[in-house]
Structure 1
């Protein structure tokens, strides 16, 4: 078991560390890199309370890249993406307590990956708003 007070970063050597004394995970923080490290696509990873609890425990104890990557996919989708998108939060809430959880549907994965164009357009629109 790895020291639980040790910090981990996305990326790999020889990239510069953002956190002094940290270790690199050995893979990047984008979904394709995490899916590759986990050797599983997001649609094959169930999300729910049981899965989230297991993922957090594995992140604290596992030294296996595959488990870490899978766990990060779960945590990021269930917490970070739920915070960004109400539709994802509502969807995950429906099956949160079920033992088996649920896989992320196509629309959810599309929303997670294709929001860049929407964000850019919102920023462009905001440039033309004048406040009085």
Structure 2
């Protein structure tokens, strides 16, 4: 029987296979700890988790202060691609790195499906 972490990694790898524009992904706790990842060797887990926690914290503060409701997702667009965070319940976030040519509608759809699959594992 697979552990929870192994199950999460399986879902992350399926996300990357189904959406080739997603280069890497991770499940990060709201306090910035990696729970599972499917990251290339040149991407540091600690850096992804720390940045995810910082983005999530700032996004939540902005949503709260500007009365936009509960935070659902945060994304950053850079010239070389996107960093997208999507809530997995209230305990974790799905972080994905996507290519600049990514079709965001498909990326968001597949990330939402994956987040829904992961919700019982976090």
User: Please, what TM-score do these two structures have when normalized by structure 2?
Assistant: 0.26
Higher helix proportion (structure 1 or 2):
1
Higher strand proportion (structure 1 or 2):
2
Structure with max Cα Rg = 1
**More contact order relative to length (CA 8 Å, sep ≥ 6):** 2
